[in-house]
A = this chain, B = another copy of it.
């Protein structure tokens, strides 16, 4: 495919195309031949440009909004731009400074760092940022605690090796006393500590059930309560920054579009689907490539952050298809590397 495209596009077409995309990304206005001919980089007449543009349109890289309008990049055009024409951009001092500020304070909680990353990222880009929090799925159990609140209810608390805490209330079987409960907790910790959360449910029924039976009555009801508590959250947590930034983009002057997009963002399920199926490194999905009608005029750029080779979560920018791809990619690369570094340091010896 790459060779095919290269044989088809001349250098001049490439140049014109690039200038069109760059200009449109900046101004959000269709770009005409006269505007182009005035650019510094371009030394030929508007008529020549018109000819070239007609060819570029025929190839599907640019479109008109109406018969006699200037051109705008098509989705295929953006795809080509992103794949072949993107020159990595250096971050300026101000950007670097702001990113560093995420890690300035000594913070121990992963969630706080992640939340702050989302905030900074949206402030720097004026787009919406989304961070998929660290997966707890393959965390290992550090400790289970059960704290009775009164005769009927107790609260179960799970702590993982990364310091993630989950808790849930449950109903206590009747006639269970503090001693019984302590026994249960001891058994649970003996048997389950160190095991990945994923395997807990299985182990609980296969290994722990037998032991519990020997020590307490009504163990089955109790067991179910605990199993329910232990269940891993279906989705990892999402963090957002600049949810309303999209409202400032000219392509979202139409309330209907805003409603669609906002609804998807609020429901989180859709966002989760968009984010979770990405490979490591930078991923770019343009417009309909996202397979989501609410994303019609949007692009999503994702990057993963990790500890060593273990992918922890995803950090993403949601913007209009007319997005500053180069800048956003640089930023994501930079932040995800920093994030990975800091987290690795924090959890090297977990």
Contacts and interface: CB of A to CB of B under 8 A. Distances in A.
Contacts of A143: 147
30 contacts: A108-B168, A108-B169, A108-B170, A108-B171, A109-B168, A142-B149, A145-B145, A145-B147, A145-B157, A147-B159, A149-B163, A149-B350, A150-B349, A151-B349, A152-B349, A155-B159, A155-B163, A155-B165, A157-B165, A163-B169, A243-B266, A244-B259, A244-B262, A244-B263, A244-B266, A247-B255, A247-B259, A247-B262, A248-B259, A255-B258
Contacts of A186: none
A57 interface: no
A165 B165 contact: yes
B248 A262 contact: no
A256 to B, nearest CB: 9
Given A169-B163, A259-B244, A147 B142 contact: yes
A241 to B, nearest CB: 10
Contacts of A149: 142, 159, 161-163, 350
A295 to B, nearest CB: 16
Interface of A: 106, 108-109, 142-143, 145, 147, 149-153, 155, 157, 159, 161-163, 165, 167-171, 243-244, 247-248, 252-253, 255, 258-259, 262-263, 266, 349-350
A139 to B, nearest CB: 11
Given A108-B153, A149-B350, A157-B165, 14 more contacts: A142-B147, A145-B145, A149-B161, A149-B162, A150-B350, A153-B163, A157-B159, A163-B169, A165-B165, A243-B262, A247-B259, A252-B255, A255-B255, A258-B258
Contacts of A253: 255
Contacts of A243: 262, 266
Q: Across chains A and B, which 3 residue pairs bring their CB atoms closest together, nearest first?
A: A108-B169, A165-B167, A244-B262
Contacts of A255: 247, 252-253, 255, 258
Nearest to A263: B244
Contacts of A263: 244
A263 B170 CA distance: 38
A263 B242 CA distance: 9
A252 B157 CA distance: 44
A240 to B, nearest CB: 9
A338 B208 CA distance: 40
